[in-house]
Amino acid sequence: MIQFLNDARLIDILDRTQAQRRANPVDRELLFSSYTTAELHKREVFKVLFSLRRRGFVSIERTDTAEVLDITLLAAALPEGFFKSDHFDEERLNAANLKRIISRISTLNFDTLLERLYMDRGVRVWAA
């Protein structure tokens, strides 16, 4: 998800391939690169998440699937005005577009999310 929120090109690929679901080779390569980058940075993301938990900004629950966590933002604990800041305008726009393209994204399980973002567009992933 971080890769998609950070790169509007990935959102554009999803948008352009909604109907046919199959991305062209260049787009598939960009999607694959985003997936491998996410895999490489997974450990750092976990460190940040657990740091946010220690500070009381998120709650984290483990799931039955290894490396999959249920994370809840504790909005009341965030500094005042955090959501009004323009620091994350681009990411907010990407999130809104992602929600528009992938219906019911917040209810998808991890495997279905990978299917909708990558596998449906011809990218092979190796997540367990």
> Per-residue pLDDT averaged across 13-31, rounded?
92
pLDDT digits (tens, 9 = 90+) for 36-95: 999 999 999 999 999 999 999 999 998 887 778 889 999 999 988 888 888 889 999 999
Q: Rounded to two decimals, what is the model's pTM?
A: 0.83
- pLDDT confidence band for 127 (50 / 70 / 90): low
Q: What is the DSSP letter of 123?
A: -
pLDDT at residue 112 greater than cutoff 80: yes
The count of other CB atoms within 10 Å of the CB of residue 60 is: 13
Residue 33's pLDDT is 96
Amino acid at 52: L
Q: How far apart are CA 79 and CA 76, in angstroms?
A: 8
